[in-house]
Structure 1
Amino acid sequence: MSESTTQHPPVPPDDLKRALTIARPDSDQTVPHIGLVGDTYTITVSGEDTAGRFCVIDMHIPPGGGPAPHRHDFEETFILLDGEMEATFRGKKSLVRAGDTINIPANAPHQFHNSSSKPVRLLCICSPSGQEHFFKEVGVPVATRTTAPPKLDKEQQQRFMEKAKALAPKYRTELLKEA
């Protein structure tokens, strides 16, 4: 059978129960801003908006910020909007600059770190969705897209890490030891 005569299923009908999502992270009071590990993550598109296909998180990473090494069973794409950061993928470091896009395959160990003197802004797309729920469960609500989370003392940091480690498997995530 030639390509022109191959039968393909039709495109499904429009799901009228789903709506257009418009997020305005700097002005919409209903958009959640989550403080986590010194960073601020704003959930602009949740899995509820995409029938679980993906979520979008607007990330504000201050100098020195970024998560510890980890891996998870979902794809993660980062689009760097402002600044530059260091991305470590399977132990190899790369410099990522504004305008760059990187994709982290599912299950690959990685981390990102803002080693510059200016804040970094990036969009994170997780597919399928779910990571936004992890952030909501372990982080704390903050006022705006750039509001820093409260500083944690040593005891609070330990409680946070215990909570994150306990919840990570629920969200198909593994927290790795620092290299």
Structure 2
Amino acid sequence: MTAAPLGHDDPARGLAVARPDSDEKLPHYGVVGDNYTILLTGEETDGRYALIDMLIPPGGGPPPHRHDFEEMFHVLEGRIDITFRGQRHTLAAGETANVPARAPHFFRNNARVQARVLCMITPPGLDRYFAAWGMPLPTRTELPHLDDDESRRRLQTAVELGPQYRIENLETTE
């Protein structure tokens, strides 16, 4: 089996390093009560993927949805329940799941302790979506505090922006 030779190195692209606990320039967003830190944007990966560090408090997680991109979850701490096409799967620390594009799903932290999850999206776009409607937060560990009106307003904005980012929000099934 012969393969085409590799192309040339692109010196215009540099090494992207993310230090979530010490880099003050990383953006942190309050999204559905969780704290999502954008570690690597689509711009930093030449449009290949985005990487998000998610802190999910007990009871946290997004409502049911689907989107036109792959989403991979790797649990660093705690555990989450992913409901994928109606079936619940529990992921504990060290475990990974990939959600195929267009498949209905959501996740929830049903444990009593906070979960920390890395989420990779390919192709990227979810990073820009969260920046468009999420609540800016000062640190990776601060969770958002929104009153009911502000929470509803931000979720309405998320629903309105969804089609622009290839995201479809679904009816709650739980």
- Shorter-chain TM-score bucket reads over 0.9
Q: Residue in 2 aligned with 1:160?
A: 154
Cα RMSD of the aligned pairs, angstroms, is 0.9
Match for 2:44: what amino acid? Answer: D
Q: Residue in 2 aligned with 1:69?
A: 64
**Counterparts in 2 of 1:14-93, with a 5 A limit?**
14-93=9-88
Cα distance between partner residues in 2 of 1:85 and 1:55: 21
Match for 2:163: what amino acid? Answer: P
Matched residue count: 173
Contact between 2:28 and 2:137, CA under 8 Å: does it hold in 1?
yes
Unaligned runs of 5+ in 2: none
Cα distance between partner residues in 1 of 2:45 and 2:118: 16
Cα distance between partner residues in 1 of 2:155 and 2:31: 11
SS for the counterpart of 1:167 is helix
Match for 1:55: what amino acid? Answer: A
- 1:148 equivalent to 2:139? Answer no
- 1:175 equivalent to 2:162? Answer no
**Given the two structures, how large is their TM-score scaled by the length of structure 1?**
0.94
Deviation of the 1:152 alpha carbon: 2.4
SS for the counterpart of 2:43 is helix
**Counterparts in 2 of 1:79-158, with a 5 A limit?**
79-153=74-148, 155-158=149-152
Deviation of the 1:156 alpha carbon: 2.1
Match for 2:146: what amino acid? Answer: K
After alignment, is 161-170 or 68-77 more displaced? Answer: 161-170
Deviation of the 1:161 alpha carbon: 2.2
- What is the identity percentage for the equivalent residue pairs of Structure 1 and Structure 2? 48
SS for the counterpart of 1:108 is coil
After alignment, is 117-126 or 156-165 more displaced? Answer: 156-165
SS for the counterpart of 1:47 is coil
Cα distance between partner residues in 2 of 1:62 and 1:144: 15
Unaligned runs of 5+ in 1: none
Match for 1:176: what amino acid? Answer: L
Computing the radius of gyration from Cα coordinates, the structure with the larger value is: 1
Cα distance between partner residues in 2 of 1:138 and 1:77: 22
